[in-house]
């Protein structure tokens, strides 16, 4: 069911290191959030469009944290879309798999003491992943997006896109290099959250 609380506000061009995108802003008044989609080319053609659903990760996306793979995945997705010349990147304001930035820092502290990323969220009283993707429906409807080749390792995102009325013609694996700081994190995503890291 469409969330009428999510509405389109404005679009403009956005030159980036990878090329020139259009940025589309949406307001979610139910949760007081602002979401954006970066698009390149004709995403309303009806053909399967290269796309990614990316949840906000301030620590990884902006501060280049090595505790996760988020920033590297964001950059890889933008680069892939620019190389193809057409695509869409949904940037959703759902920090820390939905628990928020300050709780994410608390979760990091618990991880420093030995918990994995799922255990840390649960010790704080949250589910392992409490993200809600229903805001996608008004966003894809505004863009006229019908079919995607979804860049993700997360089967929940495939299901989420299909639940919002968009056909996932293909899942495109999105892999980045691991490091000593995120090895346990990646293992937990595979073992407990079902992420698919096959190459």
Which candidate, 95, 188, 100, 194, places its Cα nearest to that of 153?
A: 194
Beta strands in the chain (DSSP E): 6-16, 19-28, 33-40, 49-55, 87-92, 147-151, 167-172
Interatomic CA distance for residues 83 and 86, integer angstroms? 8
Interatomic CA distance for residues 124 and 127, integer angstroms? 9
Interatomic CA distance for residues 169 and 167, integer angstroms? 6
Which of 129, 137, 149, 171 is the catalytic position? Answer: 129
**Is 69 tagged catalytic?**
no
**Is 137 tagged catalytic?**
no
Which of 131, 137, 149, 171 is the catalytic position? Answer: 131
Long-range contacts: 166-170, Cβ < 8 Å, 24+?
A: 166/136, 166/140, 167/48, 169/48, 170/48
Tokens in use for 62? Answer: 């902006």
Report the catalytic residues.
129, 131
């Amino acid at each position: 069911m469409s969330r009428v609380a999510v509405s389109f506000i404005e679009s403009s061009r956005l030159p980036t290191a990878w090329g020139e995108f259009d940025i589309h802003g949406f307001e979610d008044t139910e949760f007081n959030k602002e979401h954006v989609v970066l698009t390149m080319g004709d995403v309303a053609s009806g053909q399967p469009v290269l796309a990614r659903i990316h949840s906000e990760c301030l620590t990884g996306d902006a501060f280049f944290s090595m505790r996760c793979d988020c920033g590297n995945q964001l950059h890889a997705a933008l680069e892939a879309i620019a190389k193809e010349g057409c695509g869409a990147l949904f940037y959703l304001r759902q920090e820390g798999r939905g628990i928020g930035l300050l709780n994410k820092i608390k979760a990091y502290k618990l991880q420093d003491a030995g918990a994995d990323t799922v255990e840390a969220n649960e010790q704080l009283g949250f589910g392992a992943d409490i993200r809600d993707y229903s805001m996608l429906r008004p966003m894809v409807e505004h863009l006229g997006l019908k079919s995607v080749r979804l860049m993700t390792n997360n089967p929940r995102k495939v299901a989420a896109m299909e639940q919002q009325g968009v056909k996932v013609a293909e899942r495109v694996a999105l892999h980045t290099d691991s490091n000593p700081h995120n090895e346990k994190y990646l293992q937990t995503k595979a073992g407990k959250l079902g992420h698919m890291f096959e190459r």
